[in-house]
Structure 1
């Protein structure tokens, strides 16, 4: 039994359907794209100089789909619906398999009807897409922490067995990437505070926000786009400081420290998507 499905925007294409949409083939969803790093040949030696790192090109994806309707008009209407997907900008593409679902943001480059026959109740089309970020993702979990604060402490003398009081906060979240490709985290800083600082504990890399955020508002800092948005509406990237962007490598984790000045109910939420090539 075929259990895979392709979802493009609002349209779902199962691997098999007795009526409606289904997909016939999916090309280049998995695998690796080419390395676009320029190579400089050694003028007086064999081969080329070894690059410091590899940079991957965008990914071209192709899906062949078909539609089984009740009439030719039914098929043409379905193709009109397909042609509207992604016409105005990037869309979410998800592939579901027995191993789990993964997604990419893609642009629809072209929708080409194939083997169209007048009066036919079945129509075929090729959908060509580009994923400008070649990685595929599985959504991660949001974790939250307030700024660091001391605990209640232990009073002496005490009677055994000792019970240590709680309270306090480390001001840290540990973000885990279960994938095999590096992935950039996202942070949401909720007010109120006067300024904030996010520090990667393992590397010391910092990203700061030198702007007050009132209670009831939040700033989202996306390490992949390297921008900050206030309440999802206003770009406040000009108030970012240090800009020492980091990623969470595959099959590992990174711990991030949250510090804020004049905090009043301030909280940091952090999330990283699991990523694969």
Structure 2
């Protein structure tokens, strides 16, 4: 039986999420059972992951780096520096006290998409072209790499890429850089989905 999301409120941190499965239950079938009123019941849950997670999923996204147009000549007042470019940077905040496994999504058009943890140097990089509308989903907890939520593309990991299950978010702030091959479009994106993790 697969583990299912279970939200429990155990301490002053409020409700937190675990993935667990029910292994035993005791439900007394007294007079209130037919009315849906059960007193003194118990359910035993088992979770393979001991961490608890924030209930709300956090999402951070970035496009590939693009240059800024800069000042236009002749200059007028006020100065117009043009539309800001993109740096390809992502800032992720794990507010918990345990490492968390993110889900990373690369969206095309892009070639050889890569996400680098600036602090550790760990990289997720895949030698694969993604057309517009294609999504490469990397689940670092499950260790899977799926193209359009279908076929596995785990084999496309480059030599620079670390094993997916080792790519985690430490507690606190983590800075990432999104980069790609030369034939990529500036509209390509990298999205990091995660939940703060707690012991």
TM-score (norm 1): 0.60
Please state how far the C-alpha of 1:190 moved relative to its aligned partner. 0.8
- 2:124 is paired with a residue whose SS is strand
Superposed CA RMSD in Å reads: 2.3
Q: Deviations over 1:148-183 (max 9, x none)?
A: 111112245635653322232101110111112221
Please state how far the C-alpha of 1:185 moved relative to its aligned partner. 2.0
> Which of structure 1's runs of 4+ aligned residues deviate more than 4 A?
96-99
- 1:145 is paired with a residue whose SS is strand
Q: Deviations over 1:240-263 (max 9, x none)?
A: 23225332222x111111112222
Instruction: Determine the structure 2 residue equivalent to 1:254.
Output: 174
Among 58, 83, 94, the residue aligned to 1:166: 83
Structure possessing the higher radius of gyration over alpha carbons: 1
Instruction: Determine the structure 1 residue equivalent to 2:108.
Output: 191
TM-score (norm 2): 0.82
Please state how far the C-alpha of 1:125 moved relative to its aligned partner. 3.1
Among 172, 189, 193, the residue aligned to 1:271: 193
Instruction: Determine the structure 2 residue equivalent to 1:26.
Output: none
Asked whether 1:91 is paired with 2:4, we answer: yes
- 2:64 is paired with a residue whose SS is coil
Please state how far the C-alpha of 1:269 moved relative to its aligned partner. 1.0
Between 1 and 2, higher relative CO (CA 8 Å, sep ≥ 6) is seen in 2
Q: What are the equivalent positions in structure 2 for 1:102-121 lying under 5 Å apart?
A: 102-114=16-28, 116=29, 120-121=31-32
Please state how far the C-alpha of 1:140 moved relative to its aligned partner. 3.3
Q: Deviations over 1:182-240 (max 9, x none)?
A: 21222111112222111111221111111122221201112222221222222221212
Structure 2: which 5+ residue stretches go unaligned? Answer: none
Q: What are the equivalent positions in structure 2 for 1:27-38 lying under 5 Å apart?
A: none
- Check conservation: 1:176, 1:272, Cα contact below 8 A: no
Structure 1: which 5+ residue stretches go unaligned? Answer: 1-87
Using the alignment, how far apart are the partners of 1:161 and 1:168 within structure 2?
A: 20
- Check conservation: 1:141, 1:272, Cα contact below 8 A: yes
Q: Deviations over 1:74-108 (max 9, x none)?
A: xxxxxxxxxxxxxx421110125885431111022
Tell me the number of residue pairs that the alignment of Structure 1 and Structure 2 aligns. Answer: 186
